[in-house]
A and B are shown apart, each in its own frame.
Chain A
Amino acid sequence: MTGSTLYALTGAALVGIGFFGLISAQHLMRRVVAFNLIGSGLFVFLGAAGARSGASDPIPQALIITGIVVALSASALAIGLVVAHARASRRPTLPEEDGEA
């Protein structure tokens, strides 16, 4: 097994772990954290594909750097919404899940 295959499988597993966190967590902050796990898992998958034939490819690297910055700005907006929602409702969860908690 080559190094890039190992990292690609790690990236695939990270997407799965992050997706699990996204759908199983109720606290909205945990969901944003899990969403970031999915994103970085996909970046690792793409980066491993770029390094697949030995030489590293700058095009996926540039796309990943763009992706990391956009992920931060999306997270900042999501976190801002979570804090605003918690302020308005005094709860860090979505309204339809309050009954089950």
Chain B
Amino acid sequence: MTLVLDLTLCALILAVALATVLGGGVFRAIVFFIVYGLLLSVAWVRLDAVDVALAEAAIGAGLTGVLFLSAFGKLARIGAEAEPPAARIRGFLPAALACAGLTGALAWAWFALPVPERPAPDLATALPRAGVENPVTAVLLNFRAWDTLLESIVLLAALIGVWMLARDEDWHDRFGLPQHVRPGGVMANFGRLLPPVGVLVGVYLVYVGADRPGGAFQGGTVLAAVGLVAALAGLLRPPRVTQIVWRMGLVAGPLVFLVAGIVGAILGAGFLTLPEPIAGSAIFVIEIALAISIAVTLAFLVIGPPEQGHRE
């Protein structure tokens, strides 16, 4: 029975992925990609990875979808949203063969790889000292804290890259394009209905992340989505690059993370190694600061650089 479910799910995922690549029109590809992300998050639940399922649904399907759709809107404004006619037939067979070879090589690697010994014995002995019960949070914020610290800095670097694409004369304007919403329409109503629920879910995901599936990334993404929904419904005017409060929000997470790492070094445990007695409370503080930074950074990344449309 479960095999039938897995087979159906995988077939659906592959069919939607094919439709994303082969279907005509950019808009259709984006819509299929969002459906694909949602199906994929179900697959993550089937793989017993609920933390990843939450991240995939919130980021992979949700924020990436908003990013693509808003970019499609910007391209449509300049008349560059249509595909060049009859261009996609060129080189069909060599490309298909190359990709079949790539898939075949990956499948071969799967059967050639040795089956690992699980559950990892080192992790099981270290977990009681991590300060949190959710093993994924323990790995993210304690055992592999370097990865997560550098990741939060990568987010900042990407945002700086996006901001560098703003034109000089737009720099002091608000982010993204202004939104025009029909009063009493679907968007206006959803813009009022969703944010309270979203804030509750986002804060809960951050809070519960220490012991159960959830955490700073999933919760922060939901909070970013709340801000975007309110902005898209025209209820919240996007801020400007020059506002110092928002800039502080951007760096709060990496900064608190770094300070916690230095405190660990001072206490003799080593840089980014949390000493056992304070690990639980330190992870809680880091998670809250990271969630704030992730929410602000992701929302700004998706909404795009400042644009002059607000002045019209």
Contacts and interface: CB of A to CB of B under 8 A. Distances in A.
A12 B36 contact: no
A65 B140 contact: yes
B168 interface: no
A18 to B, nearest CB: 7
B71 A29 contact: yes
Contacts of B46: 3, 7
B298 A72 contact: yes
B49 A56 contact: yes
A65 B51 contact: yes
Given A12-B103, A79-B71, A3 B2 contact: yes
Interface in A1-58: 1, 3-21, 23-27, 29-30, 32-34, 36-37, 40, 43-45, 47-58
Contacts of B7: 6
A58 B304 CA distance: 33
Given A12-B110, A29-B26, A79 B118 contact: no
B139 interface: yes
Contacts of A49: 110, 113, 116
A73 B117 contact: no
B116 A53 contact: yes
A18 B159 CA distance: 25
B231 interface: no
Interface-centre pick from A10, A11, A33, A83 (highest chain B CB count, 10 A): A83
Contacts of B159: 73, 76
A1 B7 CA distance: 11
Contact of A93 (B30, B84, B301): B84
Given A73-B158, A83-B71, A101 B85 contact: yes
A52 B110 CA distance: 10
Contacts of A75: 64, 67
Interface residues of A, number: 80
B81 interface: yes
A2 to B, nearest CB: 9
A76 B189 CA distance: 28
A68 B26 CA distance: 22
A17 B59 contact: no
A12 B17 CA distance: 12
Contact of A51 (B48, B59, B75): B48
A27 B2 contact: no
Contact of A48 (B26, B47, B116, B138): B47
B133 to A, nearest CB: 11
A12 B106 contact: yes
Given A1-B3, A61-B136, 18 more contacts: A6-B3, A10-B43, A12-B103, A12-B104, A23-B99, A24-B92, A29-B72, A30-B29, A49-B110, A56-B48, A57-B118, A58-B135, A63-B147, A65-B51, A65-B136, A72-B63, A81-B165, A92-B81
13 contacts: A4-B47, A12-B107, A12-B110, A23-B95, A24-B90, A29-B68, A29-B75, A36-B33, A51-B48, A58-B135, A63-B147, A65-B215, A80-B162
Q: Which 8 A-B pairs have the closest CB atoms?
A: A16-B103, A101-B84, A73-B158, A12-B106, A21-B21, A58-B135, A62-B139, A53-B118
